[in-house]
Amino acid sequence: MDNQITFSPLIIGTMRWGVWGAKLETSEVEQLIDHCLDLGLRDFDHADIYGHYTEEENFGRVIKRRPDLKSKIQITTKYGIKMITENRPSHQIKSYNSSKEHLLLSVDNSLRALGVDQIDVLLLHRPDLLMNPHDIAEGYEQLHQAGKVRSFGVSNFTTHQFDLLNDLIPLITNQLEISLLHLDAFQDGTLTQCQRSKISPTAWSPFGGGRIFTDREDEQSIRIRKAAQPLMEKYDATLDQILLAWLYKHPAGIIPVLGSSKPERITVAAQAQYMALSHQEWYKLWEASVGQEVP
């Protein structure tokens, strides 16, 4: 397996580029990809289900008319969730399916939709209660040998679930919800596991779904904004940048997945990698999140 993949400092999430959000036209997607590349950001995060199974194809229209981009970008996509949608009429209920059969079918669908010959990073999107690690490992090996997938990882896995699969196939990441509003990964062993395994955790929803910016009732968000204000002044930074710099400070090497489709926000966010909070500043934000000092 190719475990030498190096992620950009910021991964660009595409979930809300299409019908689930900004409804970008193909030309706008192309401009956004070029903008990210100009910033040195080459990683784009997908999942087969995004946009009710349409977002990969939306992105792929650009790749098909700009084949030069294949060598410039790195694509992560995910499989394993079966959504109820008119685009998949055979799905009677929302469920998970990590079987080899579904894995192979999902990858072929993603390759065709994206207009690429190889997926750089394939993630199992959610833990499947019926997960057979040997079955998955066989599918992974078949895909790797066929040149369809370079490397593999998981998303939203516990430490035990990660070990179960990693014992059979080398995994390069666990994509988790990590933010100042969602601290589980710091305390449940998943970041420690990433450090021990020398893999880069990737963080979805690094801004807590956006409520940290606007929620006037949530006391946790209010405390964080108050604690961040003097740091914003000290570093001449936006709240976005402080929140990302807080993630970057952790020695696990957390890589945020930014869900914005706005070039200006991506530009601002990309600058956070150059900020260096002190230990005390990091803990001030932690204290604000949990509402009390550390024990």
Catalytic residues: 50
Distances from the Cα of 56 to the Cαs of 87, 97, 107, 227, in angstroms? 13, 19, 12, 39
Query: What distance, in Å, lies between the first and last C-alpha atoms of the chain?
Result: 42
Between CA 42 and CA 284 the distance in angstroms is 33
Residue 295 CA, distance from chain mean position: 31
Parallel, antiparallel, or unpaired: how do β-strands 255-258 and 119-124 relate? Answer: unpaired
| Helix (H/G/I), strand (E/B), else coil: 145 | helix
Cβ atoms of 96 and 81 within 8 Å: the answer is: yes
Closest CA to 123 of 164, 87, 156, 147: 156
Residues with Cβ within 8 Å of 258's Cβ and at least 6 positions away in sequence, in order, are: 10, 11, 12, 13, 206, 265, 266, 269
- Alpha-helical segments (H) within 83-150: 100-114, 133-145
- Under the phi-then-psi rule, with left for phi > 0, alpha for psi from -120 to 50, and beta for the rest, what region is 40? left
Residues with Cβ within 8 Å of 160's Cβ and at least 6 positions away in sequence, in order, are: none
Between CA 27 and CA 66 the distance in angstroms is 11
